[in-house]
Chain A
Amino acid sequence: QSALTQPRSVSGSPGQSVTISCTGTSSDVGGYDYVSWHQQHPGKAPKPLIYDVSKRPSGVPDRFSGSKSGNTASLTISGLQAEDEADYYCCSYAGSYEVFGGGTKLTVL
């Protein structure tokens, strides 16, 4: 079961917007509206940011948004802040199990 494909790294300046893609197949991302995104700072546990493609848990700023088109899901972070520098992982339901993306390192320049 292959991991979902994410870019290894993305970068942006404070105040800018960045988008992280997560590409799967019709058996996972494309087949279900059950994509979640998780933020992980170094040495810390992941923190949920987005679930069911575009919903935000309570307490997550609306600067974080999610979407999906076909077999590719996307996480957009607007108004970049220094504290957004972290690793980001997508996760998709795949019918009887979950599959994660390989992770994307976001650098805030």
Chain B
Amino acid sequence: QLQLQESGPGLVKPSETLSLTCTVSGGAISSSGHSWGWIRQPPGKGLEWIGSMYNSGSTYYDPSLKSRVTISIDMSKNQFSLKLTSVTAADTAVYYCARMAHTRPDYWGQGTLVTVSS
């Protein structure tokens, strides 16, 4: 059974960079036909797609976040990562990593809360 687990700091200061890693177990991140993505959920609000990346290197980002987001894959560690620059309080959310089966999340991590505050 594929499992995904997010890790990273739970508190980030305004204007700094949020960095999270997702570790994949039970399957190879190098498998074809899937991309690896990030989705977030502000407290009490709905889900927001951030972006995803294929093993080929192709990346797809939400247009409203594109200038601040970078997703990368480390196949040697079976991990992928999210970097979000110049964060503000509006970036406070539970961040989920997910495997994308073409156009939809088919496996989700359990989520990790990141708070942006000084």
Residue ranges of A at the interface with B (Cβ–Cβ < 8 Å): 1, 3, 32, 34, 36, 38, 45-48, 51-52, 57, 89, 91, 93, 96-103
Interfacial chain B residues near A98, Cβ < 8 Å: 49, 52, 103-104
Interfacial chain A residues near B47, Cβ < 8 Å: 38, 46, 89, 91, 100, 103
Instruction: Judge whether B105 and A32 touch: CB under 8 Å.
Output: no
Instruction: Judge whether B106 and A51 touch: CB under 8 Å.
Output: yes
Within residues 85 to 118 of chain B, which ones have a CB less than 8 A from any CB in chain A?
A: 96, 101-106, 108-111
In Å, the complex CA distance between A51 and B64 comes to 25
Within residues 23 to 79 of chain B, which ones have a CB less than 8 A from any CB in chain A?
A: 39, 46-49, 51-52, 60-64
Interfacial chain B residues near A102, Cβ < 8 Å: 46
Contact of B96 among A36, A46, A97, A103 (CB under 8 A): A46
> A1-B64, A98-B49, A100-B46 given as contacts; is B104 within 8 A of A51 (CB)?
yes
Q: Say what secondary structure dominates the interface of chain B.
A: strand
Interfacial chain B residues near A101, Cβ < 8 Å: 46
| Cβ-closest chain A residue relative to B108 | A45
In Å, the complex CA distance between A45 and B96 comes to 8
Interface centre among B51, B96, B101, B104 (most CB of A within 10 A): B104
Output the least CB separation between A27 and chain B (Å). Answer: 12
> A45-B110, A46-B47, A103-B47 given as contacts; is B63 within 8 A of A34 (CB)?
no
> A45-B96, A48-B106 given as contacts; is B101 within 8 A of A3 (CB)?
no
Output the least CB separation between A22 and chain B (Å). Answer: 12
In Å, the complex CA distance between A45 and B105 comes to 12
In Å, the complex CA distance between A7 and B102 comes to 27
Output the least CB separation between A33 and chain B (Å). Answer: 10
Output the least CB separation between B38 and chain A (Å). Answer: 11
Instruction: Judge whether A32 and B110 touch: CB under 8 Å.
Output: no
In Å, the complex CA distance between A58 and B49 comes to 24
